Structure 1
Amino acid sequence: MLLSTDDPNTIEKQATQLIQKYALRPSTMTLLGTQSAIGMYDYQIESVYAEGDSYNYELPVEMLTYPQNEEQAVSFGIGRMPFNQLYQTATLFVRGLYREHLFQQQPHRVLMVANLVDDYEEQGLLLCETISQATSQELRNFSLNVDEFYHRLASEPDIIDASQNADLIIFQGHAYHQRLVEDPTFFFQFEMPDVQNNENDDIHFTHYKMGPAGNEEPYHETKESFTNDDLPFKSHRFFTDRLPSETEAAVPEADFNPSVKRFKGLPIVILQSCNSLENEMPDWLLQLGGVALIGSVTSIHSASGSSFIKTLIDRALYEGETLGTALRDARNYFYVLQDLKNQRNHREQAKSLRVALSFRLWGDPQLKVFKPLPEPKKQGLSVVWTSSDTLTITTPTKRLPKVETEKYIAHGYPGVQYAGLVKRLKNKEARKLIPLYFVKTALPAPVAQYQSMTVLKGKRDRVAYRIDPQTGQLYLVYLTEKENKYPTLRFKFSRK
């Protein structure tokens, strides 16, 4: 669709009208152009502290990634491709096609890197590491080759070596430990910890500004010294003069000399850390031979970010979703998760919403993440409409291998999701991650016929759902109690 404006609201309206006029059923939409050519709109988020104080800030949002009706799911997987020069877009498309050709000649190789540290005495982001290891278990459930690096020194050359032939690279953790796609500005920041502050504690951030000579200049600020507009970026942003909303894909400086000379595996790269799309990161990845990049434009709580990436990977594994539609499904999971938290009066729901809106794709949303895969070694959830108004979910009989870090344990069924929720265990210091069941399924009857829902097995306050009116897809999240208490869950929908 050729555009006559850069206004995202107008473009979104025109695209929707075009789809309706010709009765199209697209699953993805590609934006050819940077934010200056095809704009984003600002969404206001209210964030609440544990002690009840709140602040508002605006987050730049890609069009069609947030539903017009807050009770609905989004329909499209959105990807943005640089279009400063035609060769950039053509290069990415051709690389994507060649990557799929390579699938037929060689096995997949995935690189999972999480919770890197500067000193082995650091605990780092243990909840992020636990969920990352659980994601690797899902990959191994499909017999994929996974090179894993957890709680290792960021400077270890083995990590760079493993990246050379990987076709999927997932980095999760502090941005300043990321050496795969380097930022030539040499400015870094600390990220939010996994553990929440006590209600009576001041929120306290420590920043380190790294100059070209490598000199660290620490300084301290508390929330009282921030204005509302400054807070979301001051706590977690690179010390440059550009905000994430101003990020463009541009050619890096001539003296940019990254550690990785060239990616040979034409990888999709996922950077799960704060503001990982800032500056010219998309174009630096293009220079290094990457095919697509998923990253964030805001601060990210590492547990929520890792949970988001796990959902994305699981959708590509178990449902064969493309990169764009897997991102869409992960986004819808977090929208429904926010609904579930709201109805259970959880605090800090803004974390879920920020994660859903912050992650975005630079690349072709139609890219296949994996080639057609064999059946998993252990089956995931079974989802069946036993009638046109009754949905039945049955849990599998076998779990994936247990993941255990210093503070956390994850031992879930294949395909279950997480959200950073944990519970205490008797006689153990470690806490167990609470699994959630996430289901996407087509409604067997027209969308307009479905109204309220009754839980036949399970508890009503533990389930939330949204429906995509464009595609008739139901997205449902169930927060488990004792995992074996209800091996079969049934949900009955009232219909007109």
Structure 2
Amino acid sequence: MAALAAGLLIASPAAAALDADVVLIYGSSWKRTLPAYAASAKPASKGSGAAATLPPVLLWTGGEERWTEELLQRLKPKKVVWIGPPGSSSASLKIPGKVQRIEAPDEELGAALAKAAFGPASKAPAVYVADGTDFSAALAAAALAAADSAPLLIASGDLPATVREAGELARHLGAKEVVFVGTGDETRLASASGGRVRVLSGDDALKAYNDRVASARHLVVAAPSDAEGPFSPPRLSVGALPYVLGKGAALAYVGAGPGGGRSPEQAATALEATGKGPFDAVTIVGDHIAVPMGQMEDIDQVAKGADSPRVHKIPSFVTRQGLAADRAVGRLAALDVFDLSRWIARILHGVSDKTDGNGALILANADRKFVLGEAISRTTSSELANSGVKVESYYREEITPELIRKELPGHGLVLWEGHPRDLTLDDDALPAPESPLPPATYFLQGCYTLDRSDPYLLVERGANAVIGTYMAVYSASGSGFARAYLNAQLHGGETAGEALASARNYLLATVELKKRRGHADWRKTLRAALSFDLWGDPTAKLPVQASQPRKAPVRATVANHQITVQIPAERLPTAVASDYMAEIRPGAQLSALYDNVDADASRRLVELFFVEVEVPKELGDDPQVTAAYDPSTYAWVFAPRTRKLSLLIHEAALPRGGKGAATLRFGLTKAE
């Protein structure tokens, strides 16, 4: 049995959890982290959606001092529990508060943690034992143990000896049984335990956990195969459990290796087929190597007959055919599990302080090449301000390395629009962040921004979310997407993942509108629609403070198989960028559509109106939209799973002149 280091702060056993404001784990061994998760878990508070409540659990090793210390300063813990093997040193890490050290070899750590965290008053229903050769089974066992506020031991080598130890612990705690997760003979294990033993396979344990969260509408998919083997060192699945438990989410496995091989889409569908869900939100834990993404040849290059079209990654739950998005999806990808553990702690526990600032920062067109996108970006700035968001916007030559160093750390939302090289580590780059960043959302609107170092650096240094692309994106489509994303949060109250789906559907509806109007460049817009992805929590709310819009936005309602769209009269301030001009109403949209006017005058961007409504079930899975307006003035996409119809309307549908308030009506019919 592991002995606690001399001179430690040893308190009487807590009621079913380590007594800690923060738990620090040395290294990333899953045989160390999984028992620590179970020992840290408390029952979820009444009314909470969590499966269990854990304090921030941070994984740490040498070289991670700077960012770990910065987060500890924000968390301000009074009591910290340090967990590691004998001789592990925290001397190089400044830890605030009182520190309790629990040191033991991994094969003995579960029992040591159980003695420190559990007593008879904890009323643990069972003591869990996991097979030390199967991480996927052990991960499911840890989820069950944490949800039960019960201890977890990892059997490394001598299984009967570990089960015997678990039996002794069960009798001490008054637990009814020992639950072994793995492959074993129940009778022989019961003999070793001296009491009741129940054997669950890894699949059965995962099912049992998902039964505990049967009402969950949030699914987390992880790739246990990344914990060992060719995917190391990221090992992100090792750090996934606090997020799973804190969100009260269901859990599924994907990726390579035993029990894997499925895509996230297949995992969600399979679990829903058993009666779970439906899953409106999905979080993928792992990079594109551990949890493979879809791929597609560049549709624009294919249409032009390129011999070797570029192959792009596409986000999960996004189809090459451009079907409507119907889930809020996010990905947690980081350089390693240490960064991931800090990221999850920020997501779950909130670490903002008064010095962070809560406004938005817009940096657009530093290259001075993307004037059409800049015009759209200027309306986005006005949209934020109209909703009471404090916003600072800079364009072209105003954007300097000095400005970025000064402004980047002071905002809750940062919208960058331009070439990706401007925020990377290239020789000709503007400065990448070298100091800790607030837990903000960073929207990197440019080409291939998720295929570079930016998102990893931002996550490492404090970001809560990064939105970017895997393909080339033209400025008008990209800026229109960013505007639609923020509109969905400002005016629809949507989460980050919901807003991403809404913005994707805006571009998909734009594709359909362009086809109806005979525009040949619709493939570029489709490519943009398939490009964007969210690295972050898809259930996160708007990261800045907003209020009721001072000027009313575009609104829509549906009743009696009719969509009514209310277009307000008041407009946002006129936006001008070189020879482009935009004057639109709050909640309206823009794209690369503009009036052809005299060469000496500005090109006026065409106003578009984008609304989303829920369609009654009796209209089937392919509802049709009808109206008295020219068919070239509106288009839509529909998501059968959510029954959401996304309708886009060209300003040409407005009454002649189109200056004042207007009411537009569209019928809904069942396809013949």
How far did residue 87 of structure 1 move? 3.4
TM-score calculated relative to the size of structure 1: 0.76
Deviates more, 1:10-19 or 1:352-361: 10-19
- Secondary structure at 1:366's aligned position in 2? coil
**Structure 2: distance between partners of 1:47 and 1:348:** 9
Could you tell me which of 391, 396, 409 is aligned with 2:581? 409
Q: Does structure 1 residue 90 correspond to structure 2 residue 263?
A: no
Find the counterpart in structure 2 of residue 166 from structure 1: 411
**Structure 2: distance between partners of 1:133 and 1:415:** 14
Find the counterpart in structure 2 of residue 112 from structure 1: 362
**Structure 2: distance between partners of 1:127 and 1:11:** 37
Find the counterpart in structure 2 of residue 289 from structure 1: 462
**Structure 2: distance between partners of 1:424 and 1:415:** 24
Find the counterpart in structure 2 of residue 431 from structure 1: 603
Cα displacement string for residues 250-270 of structure 1 (whole angstroms, at most 9, x for unaligned residues): xxxxxxx95533244321111
- Secondary structure at 2:326's aligned position in 1? coil
- Matched residues, percent identical? 25
How far did residue 43 of structure 1 move? 2.2
**Structure 2: distance between partners of 1:74 and 1:174:** 27
Higher relative contact order (CA 8 A, sep 6+): 1
How far did residue 102 of structure 1 move? 5.0
Structure 1 segment 105-144 matched on structure 2, within 5 A: 108-117=358-367, 123-144=368-389
Find the counterpart in structure 2 of residue 81 from structure 1: 332
Q: Which amino acid aligns with 1:293?
A: V
How far did residue 145 of structure 1 move? 0.8
Structure 1 segment 64-463 matched on structure 2, within 5 A: 64-66=317-319, 72-82=323-333, 85-99=336-350, 108-117=358-367, 123-178=368-423, 182-183=424-425, 185-186=426-427, 260-370=433-543, 373-387=546-560, 389-425=561-597, 428-446=600-618, 448=620, 451-456=623-628, 458-463=629-634
**Structure 1: distance between partners of 2:357 and 2:348:** 16
Cα displacement string for residues 32-52 of structure 1 (whole angstroms, at most 9, x for unaligned residues): 011111001222343279xx9
**Structure 1: distance between partners of 2:412 and 2:594:** 32
Change (3 A) 1:449 1:275: closer
Deviates more, 1:398-407 or 1:76-85: 76-85
Change (3 A) 1:23 1:371: farther
**Preserved contact between residue 8 and residue 38 of structure 1 (Cα < 8 Å):** no
**Preserved contact between residue 610 and residue 646 of structure 2 (Cα < 8 Å):** yes
**Structure 1: distance between partners of 2:557 and 2:524:** 32
How far did residue 57 of structure 1 move? 4.3
Deviates more, 1:271-280 or 1:142-151: 271-280
**Preserved contact between residue 443 and residue 474 of structure 1 (Cα < 8 Å):** yes
Cα displacement string for residues 363-395 of structure 1 (whole angstroms, at most 9, x for unaligned residues): 2112212467321001111212242x1111120
How far did residue 158 of structure 1 move? 2.4
Q: Which amino acid aligns with 1:464?
A: A
**Structure 2: distance between partners of 1:153 and 1:127:** 18
Q: Does structure 1 residue 47 correspond to structure 2 residue 300?
A: yes
**Preserved contact between residue 413 and residue 543 of structure 2 (Cα < 8 Å):** no
Cα displacement string for residues 438-466 of structure 1 (whole angstroms, at most 9, x for unaligned residues): 1111124445276332113x221221112
**Preserved contact between residue 357 and residue 410 of structure 2 (Cα < 8 Å):** no
**Preserved contact between residue 398 and residue 413 of structure 1 (Cα < 8 Å):** yes
**Preserved contact between residue 65 and residue 74 of structure 1 (Cα < 8 Å):** yes
**Preserved contact between residue 555 and residue 611 of structure 2 (Cα < 8 Å):** no
**Structure 1: distance between partners of 2:351 and 2:644:** 28
Deviates more, 1:94-103 or 1:84-93: 94-103
How far did residue 108 of structure 1 move? 2.4
Change (3 A) 1:261 1:412: same
How far did residue 415 of structure 1 move? 0.7
**Preserved contact between residue 590 and residue 606 of structure 2 (Cα < 8 Å):** yes
Cα displacement string for residues 192-245 of structure 1 (whole angstroms, at most 9, x for unaligned residues): xxxxxxxxxxxxxxxxxxxxxxxxxxxxxxxxxxxxxxxxxxxxxxxxxxxxxx
**Residue segments in structure 1 that go unaligned for 5+ positions in a row:** 118-122, 189-256
Change (3 A) 1:469 1:271: same
TM-score calculated relative to the size of structure 2: 0.57
**Structure 1: distance between partners of 2:400 and 2:352:** 33
Q: Does structure 1 residue 59 correspond to structure 2 residue 312?
A: yes
Q: Calculate the aligned-residue CA RMSD, in Å.
A: 2.8
**Structure 2: distance between partners of 1:45 and 1:470:** 28
How far did residue 58 of structure 1 move? 3.1
**Structure 1: distance between partners of 2:646 and 2:319:** 15
Q: Which amino acid aligns with 1:462?
A: T
Q: Which amino acid aligns with 2:290?
A: A
**Structure 2: distance between partners of 1:289 and 1:101:** 10
How far did residue 354 of structure 1 move? 1.1
Q: Which amino acid aligns with 1:42?
A: Q
Deviates more, 1:38-47 or 1:328-337: 38-47
Change (3 A) 1:300 1:313: same
Change (3 A) 1:127 1:86: same
**Structure 2: distance between partners of 1:419 and 1:481:** 15
**Preserved contact between residue 263 and residue 292 of structure 2 (Cα < 8 Å):** no
- Secondary structure at 1:465's aligned position in 2? strand
**Preserved contact between residue 393 and residue 490 of structure 1 (Cα < 8 Å):** yes
**Structure 1: distance between partners of 2:558 and 2:591:** 26
**Structure 1: distance between partners of 2:351 and 2:252:** 29
Cα displacement string for residues 272-313 of structure 1 (whole angstroms, at most 9, x for unaligned residues): 111212233322112221111111122211111111111111
Q: Which amino acid aligns with 2:402?
A: P
Please say which structure displays the higher CA radius of gyration: 2
Find the counterpart in structure 2 of residue 489 from structure 1: 664
**Structure 2: distance between partners of 1:16 and 1:304:** 31
**Structure 1: distance between partners of 2:447 and 2:637:** 28
Change (3 A) 1:53 1:82: closer
- Counting matched residue pairs gives 412
Cα displacement string for residues 103-143 of structure 1 (whole angstroms, at most 9, x for unaligned residues): 9x9862111000114xxxxx522111111110001000111
